[in-house]
Chains A and B, each alone.
Chain A
Amino acid sequence: MRFDLTLALADRPGHLVKALEPIAKNGGNIISIIHEREKPAEGYVPVFLVVDFPSKHHLRMTISDLKGLGVTIIKSEEIHETTRVPVILIGRMDLKRLVETKVENVRITSFEVSAPTSEEACVKLDLEVPVDSVDRVLDELKRLSKEENAILISPV
């Protein structure tokens, strides 16, 4: 699992190395690290990390160890690999309901409604969906389109 970690380190020699030790100890694999020494704020410098951990538990252990060392955690978030999923819906549906339907970790990146020449509305949505949630999201959209008596046209 991939995580975005932002730490605030005291701007003193050796603190970065010390902060990296708990990550290695808990099975973390550092994918990238940005250490912005030129931008200290009140004696602290931000360090931006992307780290692969075997599980959320390993991340929690790391955070606990870092706190024990006096390191401030500014951000710790899982990074979801996403894919673009375009869909078209045809029918007399409630567009507001469609847009307001929240599916976890799904973002509507674009929304296009055709100028209807027939009674059926036609909407194209571009969704940003975590790769491992595509089937679940499409199932949810299928359920919704059935309820709205609309036709869902999903990617092949």
Chain B
Amino acid sequence: MKALIVGFGFIGRALIGAFHEKSDVIRRIDEDFRVIGVSNSKGYAYDEKGLGLEKLLGIGELSKYSKGWHAEGSSIELLEESGCDLMIEATPTSMIDGEPGLTFIRHALSRGVHVVTPNKGPLVVAFKELSLLAEKNHCEFLYEGTVCGAVPIFSLVRECLQGDKVLRISGILNGTTNYILSRMYFEGTSFQLALKEAQERGITERDPSYDVDGIDAACKVLILANALMKRDARFDDIEKVGIRGVTQEAISLARKSNFAIKLIGTIDRSLEVAPKLVPINHPLCVHGTLNAIHLQTDLAKEITLVGYGAGKETVSAVLNDVLTVLNKTNCQ
């Protein structure tokens, strides 16, 4: 299989590292797997025989990949001319219009190219359209990395809960707010100080309001609702209350009664992101930057997954999606 990576940022580079490190795992499924192109906003590197992964890992700028570098070449051009089978889309996220990822994904799926992405934006804007496009063109469209990073929620439901109906989902879907609320709970710090600490550690979005006002968590609620519960919901359907107003007094009052306050996304009668009281012995009561998702289904009843929701761990989800595509296409 011939793969393209669109986006040479944090995830793009981490994925190339994972392809290199796990090459034996990949080759056991597909001996001929190769990355034939990598693009960013400045151009693309292309080699029909496969780009050198070590070489890619050794360069800071993609333009330094001298052999096969096409300055100002576009990702669409690369997609159209390379004859690739799989596109891994890892460009920066835009929750407003899903671009530029949405255009790349649309284009790939329309041409029958399988797509793997950890990019939330396109799914927030056009989940139904992209899913139908994938179905129509008989290609895989996998997005495990979009919700809770390394936590395999979509794979779990797709592979292990095929006969179950998901009735309710609730969870800590944003690691930054969990970090802030955990600092307030354990250290007694104020919201402002905990937010500053999170920014210093580099774990907030560029605009922290995406985290603290519940926007990031709401995007994940939307993707989960549409993908796992077939809701056909829109972003505006979600009631959002962030954690800016959560005071140290509220945290202390909760703590005295053996509760912690967590920002919880819920898909139930309605779609909601809001601070909630979580009993300290509840499976969702995890701390630090951890994420957790609690599923209620008709047969399995209750299942909770806990793990890291952002950062380099996300590459685990993207790699697993790529291996899933390889396995599925090998079986056909």
The listed residue (B253, B262, B275, B284) touching A151 by CB distance below 8 A is: B275
Decide: B247 and A120 in contact? CB cutoff 8 A.
Answer: yes
The total of Cβ contacts below 8 Å across the A-B interface reads 68
The listed residue (B249, B250, B269, B284) touching A156 by CB distance below 8 A is: B284
Bound complex: CA A118 to CA B184 (Å): 15
Decide: A87 and B253 in contact? CB cutoff 8 A.
Answer: no
Closest 7 CB pairs of A and B: A114-B249, A122-B249, A156-B276, A124-B253, A151-B245, A156-B278, A155-B277
Bound complex: CA A1 to CA B276 (Å): 32
Bound complex: CA A90 to CA B261 (Å): 13
Bound complex: CA A120 to CA B250 (Å): 10
Which of A86, A88, A112 has most B Cβ within 10 Å?
Answer: A88
Contacts of A116 in B (CB 8 A): 249
- Shortest distance in angstroms between B187's beta carbon and chain A's nearest beta carbon? 16
Task: Give a binary string over B262-298; 1 marks a CB under 8 Å from any A CB, 0 the rest.
Answer: 1010000100001111110010100000000000000
Contacts of A112 in B (CB 8 A): 253
Bound complex: CA A153 to CA B254 (Å): 10
Return the chain A residue nearest B294 by Cβ.
A156
Decide: B275 and A156 in contact? CB cutoff 8 A.
Answer: no
Decide: B257 and A151 in contact? CB cutoff 8 A.
Answer: no
Which of B253, B276, B279 has most A Cβ within 10 Å?
Answer: B253
Decide: B254 and A90 in contact? CB cutoff 8 A.
Answer: no
Decide: B250 and A153 in contact? CB cutoff 8 A.
Answer: yes
Decide: B282 and A86 in contact? CB cutoff 8 A.
Answer: no
Bound complex: CA A133 to CA B277 (Å): 19
Say if the beta carbon of B246 comes within 8 Å of chain A. Answer: yes
Decide: B254 and A124 in contact? CB cutoff 8 A.
Answer: yes
**B residues whose Cβ falls under 8 Å from a Cβ of A:** 170, 241, 245-250, 252-254, 257, 259, 261-262, 264, 269, 274-279, 282, 284
Bound complex: CA A77 to CA B248 (Å): 43
Decide: A153 and B257 in contact? CB cutoff 8 A.
Answer: no
The listed residue (A122, A155, A156) touching B253 by CB distance below 8 A is: A122
- Shortest distance in angstroms between A139's beta carbon and chain B's nearest beta carbon? 9
Given A156-B262, A156-B282, A156-B284: A118 in contact with B249 (beta carbons within 8 A): yes
Say if the beta carbon of A22 comes within 8 Å of chain B. Answer: no
Task: Give a binary string over A113-134; 1 marks a CB under 8 Å from any B CB, 0 the rest.
Answer: 0111110101010000000000
Say if the beta carbon of A154 comes within 8 Å of chain B. Answer: yes
Decide: B282 and A122 in contact? CB cutoff 8 A.
Answer: no
Return the chain A residue nearest B190 by Cβ.
A118
- Shortest distance in angstroms between B248's beta carbon and chain A's nearest beta carbon? 7
Return the chain A residue nearest B282 by Cβ.
A156
Contacts of A151 in B (CB 8 A): 241, 245-246, 275
The listed residue (A91, A120, A122, A153) touching B277 by CB distance below 8 A is: A153
Decide: B259 and A86 in contact? CB cutoff 8 A.
Answer: yes
- Shortest distance in angstroms between A69's beta carbon and chain B's nearest beta carbon? 47
Say if the beta carbon of A100 comes within 8 Å of chain B. Answer: no
Bound complex: CA A114 to CA B254 (Å): 11
Contacts of A120 in B (CB 8 A): 245, 247, 249
Decide: B250 and A88 in contact? CB cutoff 8 A.
Answer: yes
Which of A122, A153, A155, A156 has most B Cβ within 10 Å?
Answer: A156
Contacts of A154 in B (CB 8 A): 274, 276-277
Bound complex: CA A112 to CA B256 (Å): 11
The listed residue (A122, A135, A155) touching B250 by CB distance below 8 A is: A122
Bound complex: CA A112 to CA B250 (Å): 11
Contacts of B248 in A (CB 8 A): 117-118
Contacts of A118 in B (CB 8 A): 247-249
Bound complex: CA A90 to CA B275 (Å): 11
The listed residue (B250, B262, B277) touching A90 by CB distance below 8 A is: B250
